[in-house]
A and B are shown apart, each in its own frame.
Chain A
């Protein structure tokens, strides 16, 4: 029995059968709802508008909470987005709400690049979701979805028309996110002015091809209310968190000297309509549109960019394969290069440290040499000094000896012949050395006499020539 013998014989003519009784699958929607309630919902709002136009206040009013917000300054260098996530709970429904604020929008002098950070942020959220989807091990069911579901665009209540910045920004955003334009601070416009203003705005949007979000009219349950609301766009809203006593009720309102603007009064502003549409009726549809339309568009563009084409089962997607291979090679190449770099860096560092060490070693050596030399120098000096000292000592000794000799020869001069003593005196000093010599002579040379009479005469001669030496007659 070969596996290729599988006969998939599908009976594609779908038949509509009538049931003989109550089967019970009408609980399917309830099962689905129960599951989503346990999972929790998440919703992401992007508020785009000038600084101070009332974005934070409107959010507070819509969700009936005080989200922490400091006032933004007008002196930001550029536009940056500030997302904040909150967990809300209302009768067992958990909502993870993320509000993204555009800080610094419309404040710069040159606003050409104002829309860029917004578009980048939206794209980044799509990218993150795409990355999660393309992972091998993915967990989409508990992924925190940060894609922007709705962009509330706050239009300043000039009463004339859209600003150029508004038009440019909305044009850039309409293909990426659901836009609902809102006229902010609507308590500065009277009813008739408002009517004209709304018409002007809508006609400008239409003539420039800006696609704003249309409330869906295909579901019978809500089509009526949605289509009537579509006619009221853009909503003119007033936001307030302060409570004012009107009659016997306390309502949220703005108190002016000339009256009280009630937020939830339908004849004062469209706040209730906005809340109804945004939260109570179409929240799920907004999420669906984001996923099914805007995200799919992004994904398609991104994948086409990456080189993947839609394939028929028959055609060979060889260019795909090449692109994939090329990307893989590129990636590996990158990896290798990075490795090389790191290795290089490391080797360099090692070399440097080695060089340093060598340097230090040399220095130490030098020092050592120097010290040695110094030491030797010192030694030499000390040697010299010692020699000097020795010499001095010798000199001193000689002097001492001389002095002693002198002191000995002086007492002999008094006893003996003056002449002789003079002679001796004269000679003593001079011939101190010669006397030695004499004596030496006398000692050394034997007398060469033949007779004793000659010897005596020799002796006498000798005696005549002899001198007296201190210390005794010889």
Chain B
């Protein structure tokens, strides 16, 4: 895969020639050192999947990570689901590949959108995300920070049913509630019920509606200007393909002489990893092979920082008003720009300016008198 090649670290080849040695200081090995250390430390990633029951979320996760995370699941009947609450279930697995260890956490949201009255059914989910942020905030602000567990949700895959004509109200509300807390990647689930034309129309429709409602889904970062044309082309194609239309499968079938993951129908075999059948491969590449780290970064640098800033401001404004709130978070009083204090300062500034002008006028008058 070309996307794989791009991210290989550019390790400089140390020449054996002693003439080169002379000029070579050696800090170009820093990337290697970083590489080594990160491999030793291991990685972690938290992925949330959200969508109605039966959209194929679990199947997709299994297909993505080529493993079976959901042994012994119990599926509810329609009756049981009338008043169902949304649960949050975490599955944590340690997987390793070529020496790289990954602690993967999948956060499942069974029950979302299943009840008859789905008012605010996303609230448990937003609460969960906020909880993780708060936990991390407290840990980060504590005195002993040696072993902080990072449980923040790095990415949320949202499954849009293919049966409608675009986004439904519950989809819009969900995404609007979450787009400032987590990276949302919308997916069209069960895409094997749509023909290519229909898929294209649906994608365009959904993109339009996302723009119309002002939903901020995860944007791929711009690629560097020094990348080759091929990569830029791929990047462009990737961006135009969103939202990805995916198909998942737990079963392996035989197609074209190979054993592939796919779904067997009387009219043919849908291959999960066939690019012309669905966008699964694009999703996998984007999510795992090229942008996993970027998703983590955006979560840390943007969503978490927003949460933190908001949290602190709420805390300090509350403290100013009422004395009975606990604030175990160390924040410097100097760094809280109270809006009121600023106004006061501005007023005083103006007063000073006015007085200064008066003084100048008086001095001028004195001058004139003398003359």
Query: B338 to chain A: closest CB distance in Å?
Result: 10
A25-B97, A321-B325 as given contacts; A311 in contact with B142, CB under 8 Å:
yes
* Cross-chain contact A1 with B93 (CB below 8 angstroms): no
* Cross-chain contact A6 with B128 (CB below 8 angstroms): yes
Contact of A22 among B97, B359, B363 (CB under 8 A): B97
Q: Is the C-beta of B362 less than 8 angstroms from some C-beta in chain A?
A: yes
Closest residue to B356 on the A side, CB-wise?
A346
Which A residues lie within 8 Å of B94 (CB)? Answer: 14-17
Which A residues lie within 8 Å of B39 (CB)? Answer: 29
Contact stretch, chosen from A31-39, A194-202, A397-405: A31-39
A27-B289, A93-B27, A321-B327 as given contacts; A360 in contact with B90, CB under 8 Å:
no
Which A residues lie within 8 Å of B90 (CB)? Answer: 8-11
* Cross-chain contact A317 with B328 (CB below 8 angstroms): yes
A23-B95, A24-B4 as given contacts; A90 in contact with B144, CB under 8 Å:
no
Q: Is the C-beta of A62 less than 8 angstroms from some C-beta in chain B?
A: yes
Q: Is the C-beta of B79 less than 8 angstroms from some C-beta in chain A?
A: no
Residues B101-146 near A (CB distance < 8 A): 102-103, 115, 117-121, 123-124, 127-128, 131, 142-146
Residues A291-341 near B (CB distance < 8 A): 292, 296, 299-300, 303-304, 306, 308-311, 316-318, 320-321, 324-325, 327-328, 331, 335, 339
The contact size tier of chain A is 35 or more
* Cross-chain contact A6 with B10 (CB below 8 angstroms): no
Closest residue to A335 on the B side, CB-wise?
B341
Contact of A17 among B26, B93, B293 (CB under 8 A): B93
Which B residues lie within 8 Å of A17 (CB)? Answer: 65, 67-69, 93-95
Query: A346 to chain B: closest CB distance in Å?
Result: 6
Show the binding face of B for A, using Cβ within 8 Å: 4, 7-10, 12, 18, 22-31, 33-40, 43, 45, 64-69, 83, 85-100, 102-103, 115, 117-121, 123-124, 127-128, 131, 142-146, 224, 284-285, 288-294, 297, 301, 305, 308-309, 312-313, 319, 323, 325-328, 330-337, 341, 348, 352, 355, 359, 362-363, 366, 369-370
Query: How many angstroms from the CA of A32 to the CA of B87 in the assembled complex?
Result: 33
* Cross-chain contact A346 with B38 (CB below 8 angstroms): no
> 13 A-B residue contacts at CB 8 Å?
A1-B121, A8-B131, A28-B102, A29-B9, A29-B38, A33-B35, A33-B38, A93-B30, A136-B335, A281-B29, A281-B33, A331-B334, A354-B362
Which B residues lie within 8 Å of A339 (CB)? Answer: 348
* Cross-chain contact B301 with A141 (CB below 8 angstroms): yes
Classify the interface of chain A: helix, strand, loop or mixed.
helix
Contact stretch, chosen from A75-83, A282-290, A413-421, A430-438: A282-290
A1-B117, A309-B143, A318-B326 as given contacts; A284 in contact with B37, CB under 8 Å:
yes
User: By CB atoms of chain B within 10 A, which of A8, A24, A88, A264 has the most?
Assistant: A24
